[in-house]
Amino acid sequence: MLRGLLYRLGTWIHDHCRRVLAIALAVLLASLVLLIEGGRLTTPTIRGLESEQAERWIERVRGFPAEMTFAVIFHARTELSDEAFKRAIEASLARARPLVKSVITADDVPISVGLLMTNPEARSALAYVTMREARGYRAVRAALESDLIEVTCTGQIPYLHDLDATLAHDLLFAELISLPLALLVLVLVFRTLTAALLAVGLCSVLTAIAAVLLISRGYDMAQYTVNVCSLIGLGVSIDYALFIVSRYREELAAGHAHREALAHALSKAGRIVMFSGVAVASGLIGLVSFRGSYLEAMGIGGVIVVLFAVCGALTVLPALLAMLGPRIRPMPPRPARLLSAIVVAVMRRPVLVLIPTLALLIVMGLPFLRLKMATADVRVLPQDVEARRGYAQMQSAFPEIAATRVAVAVRFPTPGLDASRAGALADLVQRMKAIPSVTQVETIVLQGDTPLTPPEALRAGFEESLRVFSKDDVVLVYARTDQPTESETARNIVRKIRQQRAVADGRLVVGGIIAHDVDTTDFIVGHAPRAIAIVVGATVIALFMLLGSIVLPIKAIVMNALSIAGSFGALVWVFDRPVEPTLPILLFCTLFGLSMDYEVLMLGRIKEVFEETGDNARAVAEGLARTGGLITSAAAIMVAVFGAFAFGRVVLIQSVGFGMALAVALDATLVRVLLVPATMRLFGDLNWWLPRPLARLRNAIAALVTQITSPAP
């Protein structure tokens, strides 16, 4: 049995604690080296979207890759003359040119475009810089700096650079807040600082982040992955340590010697930690089903940090306990009297408690029905960050360039526009103009069904139009709109344009930020059912094996869904803005697993009492009384950790921190204290019902595990 294996592990670790700690120290030192060297974290992307393909075709016409090109906005101070302003721009760009692939100014493009890149009234000018590699941005930005004029950079590379710096600030800020708060809670629980320090799982988190950085050298890992690892890792590592240390001190109080107490603690609490780890990892594995997206990397990172948290709790922590020996004081279980009184009162009138609690959670979740989604861009940054300031300046000083456009790329089998292709393009333009909220359509100048052949005096303008909107076999058409990019009206423009896939013998694809939003949302919605099925299925199996019941796992799924729904609704109500499309599924998978952390601890204790007494009501009351204080403490730690991230500067991290903190708080109060005892009282002995075929299956799996894990004779 698993308990026997963990019992033997506890005795072995006690006898070889120095060896275990030496190995752990070596792993930690190696992790620190990897942390110092860093990794190759990438921008959050989803591969294979139509909008991504459109960008590749658009790059062929523009002549530069969008993800490696950023905008530089120059602004003249009032005392500077026009000539001095121009010289200052040239000097700034001259210092940067040796460090970059290319620089494009108003003098390097067709006149019609060049006029849009200057704004004499705003005393501003615009240039585009294309990098050889993104890692050189910091040096280029330093070279562009000028004492005479204001220089502001915006675009993909500045956004990612500023996002990375802001996320690092948020991570440090959150840890400076959460770790002292978590330590304070642990001191209050354990009464001794020494035992409290044991529960801090910072080493597990550092090791997991080091592993993520190592993997990022050969696999796409988004920047957010490190924040998610820190967020989840701190919470579960401290919780697992809390479970084991508490059980160890209970076993000491029961009269066991330190070696036996450690073995018993691992056989009981260690089993709970393992099942909890499986439950949390099961939630995160749901993210791995989003293949080709940065959610997949987040899922991998989350599973890694949970794995390290479980391993640390089952090896390093017991070794530390063995080393400390007599300095760890016994602590008999102290039933939470207030919680016990509440549980008893709930079980006396379960229906009276169940109905209003369910109604409250449902009402809290209702705002989620009006959720709006939009992909993260520079607007997730604080307004004082340079990339965000540059975005605002672009909107103000260069409205024609910054205007919202739906980009349409048409690729033909061969270069050139004959009468058939020109006529099809003209029809496309007319249909795009007829779409509601399309204010203007921009493309090659056409007349009738053929390319315009202008008089000699206008030929230069026509040739310029060809240079701007076409190259070889690709023609670009832009639909401008005055609607917000996240609005449903703007998204309908993309959908209506996509209704026509063929343009003569060419193929049409749609790109731009609005199309990217549509594609991302469709990707998430399309993959979500599979992810949810994986999460729910894996969780049910884990709880089925732990509890030997088919009713309790299903009830646990419903309870988790209610607490998550309440937090989702509050998230929409508090932030009142479109959220990143990946946020709901990220929160669902993460919170589903984390909610099972307490479910496993609580139901595991209830099952122990039920096996001893056979009395369901007594098992629920005593199980909750024994674990209530521990669950409250663990929840307080998680709320402290997650809540600290809610004070970050990046909106996505704020949303994740707030949503997770609220969900844990709801789960530890309304769900665990009110809904669980009420429903278990109503179900009675049915809670432990298990059909005979499933009982035989569970016994067969347990026997197989025992055979695999038992030492050879």
User: pLDDT tens digits for 392-435?
Assistant: 999 999 998 888 899 999 999 998 888 888 889 889 999 999 99
Whole-number pLDDT of residue 343: 83
Query: pLDDT, tens digit, for every residue of 110-153?
Result: 787 888 899 998 899 999 999 988 788 999 999 999 988 999 99
616, 680 Cβ separation under 8 angstroms? yes
Look at residue 438 in the predicted model and tell me its pLDDT.
94
Amino acid letter for position 182: A
Q: Tokens 């075709």 map to which residue?
A: 57
Q: Which residues, in sequence order, are bridge partners of residue 126? A: 73
Domain spanning 63-154: which CATH class is it, in words?
A: alpha beta
What whole-number distance in Å separates Cα of residue 652 and Cα of residue 57?
30
Chain position carrying tokens 């009420």: 678
Determine contact, residues 381/649, Cβ cutoff 8 Å. Answer: yes
Segments of 491-627 assigned E as strands: 502-503, 506-511
Q: For the chain, which residues score pLDDT lower than 50? A: 193, 196, 447-460, 709-713
pTM, whole model, 2 decimals?
Answer: 0.79
Q: What is the pLDDT of residue 219?
A: 81
Own/partner long-range contacts of 380-385 (Cβ < 8 Å, ≥24 apart): 380/163, 380/580, 380/650, 380/651, 380/652, 381/159, 381/162, 381/163, 381/166, 381/649, 381/650, 382/166, 382/649, 382/650, 385/162, 385/166, 385/649
Paired tokens of 559: 């309870």
The per-residue pLDDT for 462 is 52
Domain range 2-43+161-378+518-709, CATH class: mainly alpha
Count Cα atoms within 13 angstroms, Cβ side, for 193.
Answer: 1
Q: In this structure, are residues 441 and 406 in contact, taking their beta carbons and an 8 Å threshold? A: no
Beta strands in 170-223 (DSSP E): 221-222
Cα dihedral 332/333/334/337 (nearest 10): -150
- pLDDT at residue 13, as a whole number: 93
Smallest Cα–Cα separation from 618: which of 681, 575, 556? 681
Give the pLDDT score at 705: 58
Class of CATH domain 386-517: alpha beta
What stretch(es) of the chain map to CATH 3.30.70.1430?
386-517
Q: What count of other Cβ atoms lies within 10 Å of the Cβ of residue 19?
A: 12
How far apart are alpha carbons 367 and 369 in whole angstroms?
A: 5
Bridge partners of 128, per DSSP, are 71, 104
CATH 1.20.1640.10 location in the chain: 2-43+161-378+518-709
Which residue intervals of the chain bear CATH 3.30.70.600?
63-154
CB 110 within 8 A of CB 468: yes
Report the pLDDT value the prediction gives residue 428, as an integer from 0 to 100: 92
Strands of 246-345 (E only): list them: none
